[in-house]
Structure 1
Amino acid sequence: MATMILPTLGFAQNWHEPARGTAERAQLMNAIRPVVEWQLGRPVEFVVRQLRASGDHAFAMLAPQRPGGGAIHVAATPMVRYFGEDASYFEEVGGLDVIAFLIREGDQWAVVDHSIGATDVWFAREPYCSAFPVVLHGYCPLK
């Protein structure tokens, strides 16, 4: 039975994880960074929980932190101090994890949607499942 399942799984996954140190991974992180720094303050680096790319589409799940692994103090972030977000929400949900969708046009990656501190799987629905089906493989219901 396993021999029948393994080829199917390999075929269904047409995305790859850009490896550490590659230009593609650096471009993706550099596209996400200013969007996140706008809300969390500078500087930010990421621990990659999941990074999927296929063609001109990418999906990222990241844990933001200060350089060297420093914690981000939610109450001091621009999203709390200037934009009115509730710091206690992020403390209750246990984090500032970032989810982002990116598209590439030419040699530039751009964030087309993102969240910080989401507590649900908001991305496993339309229009994301139709627009990013390959990089969301395993999250969206099969049609």
Structure 2
Amino acid sequence: MTAPIPEWTEVARIFEPDGALRDLYVLDAGPVGWQAVLDGLRALDPPPVFDIDGEPAALPAHIEDVFAIWGNASPSLRWNAGEVQVNLHFFRSDDIEFDIDPADVCEPEDWLALARFMLWLAETAERPVVLTPENTPDDIMLFCRNAQDGIEVNATPED
């Protein structure tokens, strides 16, 4: 069974550039979810690029080691889902927050690549994933409860 992914016509308006980024959150990931996503990202082909203060560096094996960098520098990671650059800045220790430029999602193929990434995140972390406007995690535009259920437009996670 293939997870349902909304048609491009249902989501295109979400990606109309408005000067703000869009955030992808893996909700309540905790240390186990963070480590699972870090391990999963490391296995991607091509691999993501990990930077410390903008300089390429080796991706640490453990998420605790990435968070320890924050005392002295800013770690980040970038990877492309198709033509969509996905950025991870390791901001929070409870949710995992990625950002994308909505202008990168301008074709149905871009949307499918991003949707597959959302499904992959939900499966890898075993946690729900949401897409929101920048810095507004409660304003859910897209919701993925798990990889099998697919992605819902304008849905709200149930408590």
Q: Fold-level match, TM-score > 0.5?
A: no
- TM-score relative to the length of structure 2: 0.28
Structure that is richer in helix per residue: 1
